[in-house]
Structure 1
Amino acid sequence: MAHVSIRPTATLRAAATRALHTQTLPSHASAPIALSLIRAQPSQYIIASLAGRKYLLTPRDLLTVPRLKDVKVGDVLKLSDIHEIGSREYTLRGSPTIPPEQVRVEATVVEHTKGRMEVIFKKKRRKGYERTVYHKQTYTRLRIGPIDIVENPSS
């Protein structure tokens, strides 16, 4: 049986350093510390609920959701149901959501559009019943703005 030695490489050291960041913090102090750590990272993401579904979003994303009837092109929507915020190294999950005072994200309505033509063919065998229905689903497209992490939520 041959002797195999394992030497720490750069990737193993990076994994070990990354593992240090994933340690849990005390619950009473974890949110402000985690938010400051996430704010220091170069890029962030959020998981937010919009139109009844959860989406993973980053700044400048173009999001297509089912038609929002009460908005016009150019309207700015404030995303309030944010479930998670994170970066490459850190993540903060809400229970169930993160308070809107801590994270601000806006979405601008870019357009109202329709999807591709759907063909629905209905038939009852041996009855002579055949119908063809054509349908286009309506959608609203949103541009996600910057993710603003508030430094001191009490102010």
Structure 2
Amino acid sequence: MFSSPLRINLLKTVAGRAALRPAWAPAFSTSARAFESSAQLTKPLKLNETIAQPSASDLRKAFGTVPAGVPAPAGAALYATFKIHSQSFLVTAGDTVTLPFRLKDVAVGDVLRITQIETFGNRNFTLKGAPFVDDKVCVVRARVVEHTKEPLRETIRTKRRNRRVKHIKSKHPYTVLRIAEIGVAPE
């Protein structure tokens, strides 16, 4: 490998997120985000290094949450990013998600347990899956609110030097979910 002043170092933060910075840039930035202090940057992360996934009891200590069924404290709002049909969604508890397709074999009122969770965490701690977080560690449940369709769209297609006008109508089906629960899985 050649050494260049534009070589990029991968840094591991206390919050579990990785930050990229050029080698010539100072380790501590003066323009940190409002919720991150620049003192959180620690040792460089090796590319082949793997980090073991914590247990549910370790997550309860890290997140500061209470057992499932009891709402989390206001300062410890949990979030998750999950994938349905190769599309990712970032949600917190109580959010409404409109899927740009219709989920088959589900009825209105069904509760879905989402298992393809990419990241899970709160402001202070993030658990990132490779590629997904184990569903024995965290729970994301969503309730199907409705199956609906978008408003009728009409697109007009024409070609040059031709009087023919083609009207293309589309009205795609949607499924609306409400995130009922995000939390650490009970042991």
**Above 0.5 in TM-score?**
yes
SS at match of 1:98: coil
1:45 is aligned to 2:68:
no
> Residue 91 of structure 1 aligns with which residue?
126
Task: Give the secondary structure class of the aligned counterpart of 1:116.
Answer: coil
Residue pair 1:39, 1:149 contacting (<8 A) in 2 also: no
**What 5-or-longer segments of structure 2 have no aligned partner?**
1-33, 66-74
State the Cα deviation string for residues 31-57 of structure 1 (Å, max 9, x = none). 233553124362100010023200001
What is the percent sequence identity of the aligned residues? 30
Higher RCO structure, 1 or 2 (CA under 8 Å, sep 6+): 1
2:82 maps to amino acid: A
Root-mean-square deviation (CA), in Å?
A: 2.9
Among 59, 63, 78, the residue aligned to 2:97: 63
Structure 1 runs of 4+ aligned residues shifted over 4 Å read: none
Asked if structure 2 preserves the Cα contact closer than 8 Å seen for 1:34 and 1:91, the reply is no
Larger radius of gyration: 1
- Aligned 8 A contact 1:38 1:91 in 2: no
Counterparts in 2 of 1:71-150, with a 5 A limit?
Answer: 71-150=106-185
What letter corresponds to residue 51 of structure 1 in structure 2? H
Number of equivalenced pairs: 138
What's the TM-score once normalised by structure 2's chain length?
0.64
Q: TM-score, normalised by structure 1?
A: 0.75
- Which residues of structure 1 form unaligned runs of 5+? 1-11
Alignment match, 1:31: 54
